[in-house]
Amino acid sequence: MKYLVTGGAGFIGSNLTRALLASGQRVRVLDNFLTGKRENLAGLTGAHGDAFELVEGDLRDPGTVCKAAAGVEYVLHQGALPSVPRSVADPVLTNEINVAGTVNLLLAARDAGVRRVVFAASSSAYGDTPQLPKRESMAPNPKSPYAAQKLAGEHYLRIFYEIYGLETVSLRYFNVFGPRQDPGSTYAAVIPRFITSVLRGVPPTVYGDGLQTRDFTFIDNVIQANLAACAAPKAACGKVVNIACGERVSLLDILEIVYKLAGKRVPPKFEPARPGDVRDSLADISLAKDLIGYDPKVPFAEGLARTFDWFKSAEQGTPEPGRS
């Protein structure tokens, strides 16, 4: 197999897997289905034959991870127990998966002779520093267990490159969104929650005043970044780069766009701000451009329109192209 995608049944992982297979690559997925969904991988075995392989197992199990890494050239490490609120509720479990699981993967990749590991890091590592945009040279200040765990992963990747020579690149994702993102989870991201709530006529929940801003990143840009990180020169190894669009939008602004796309308004309900959430976020993506050649192709508004169309089709029961 050319690629191993950990967490390949999740939102980001399944989109990566499908994009790789569509381009003719061979892909192995490792997932324990704790948060990943089998329907995200529906139809892949029949459509792609032996180009697709699923290993059902857990990052916390070294034997399973070694099996998954065997014979692989590139590892796209998306596997994690995501979300800030979940880490606040259960810091021990999230640490076991997000930190110990990452170490297991790095050891397996080193021993299997993997060419490069690309890690799904998180902009949450910056914390709530007022300085914008966020640059990789800024001192991290994580506000949640999840943020601390992702930051630990970055350090482990750098150390494995410096000590063992395992090529690694960490991509600090900024609020990724797009098709297959789960709107029903307790810890669901804001965009799928907003879209499905408005489509169903249910008041969308806004935590805080809704004026907090994010640099939302459409999934196609993240796919591009992962492929670019695999092909980047060795100058990128051991480094951390921001992956975003370099534009920010407030939650209330998103709601207004969703209202226009849906052709109706559903007034939101406001809840207290959640512990661990940052107020504002905006990325400087110049280092990613310099080191890995990253250049986001899909701006926020276009990505939101595409995402809305996908969820609208899903609500109407329209089959997704290429799925059985």
Active site residues: 146
**3-state SS string for the chain:** CCEEEECCCCHHHHHHHHHHHHCCCCEEEEECCCCCCHHHHCCHHHHHHHHEEEEECCCCCHHHHHHHHCCCCEEEECCCCCCHHHHHHCHHHHHHHHHHHHHHHHHHHHHHCCCEEEEEEEHHHHCCCCCCCECCCCCCCCCCHHHHHHHHHHHHHHHHHHHHCCEEEEEEECCEECCCCCCCCCCCCHHHHHHHHHHHCCCCEEECCCCCEECCEEHHHHHHHHHHHHHCCHHHCCEEEEECCCCCEEHHHHHHHHHHHHCCCCCCEEECCCCCCCCCCCECCHHHHHHHCCCCCCCHHHHHHHHHHHHHHHHHCCCCCCCC
- Compute the distance between CA of residue 84 and CA of residue 59 in angstroms, rounded to an integer: 20
Backbone angles phi, psi at 121, to 5 degrees: -85, -175
Q: Are strands 213-214 and 249-250 parallel, antiparallel or unpaired?
A: antiparallel
Residue type, 232: A
> What's the gap between Cα 260 and its chain centre?
27
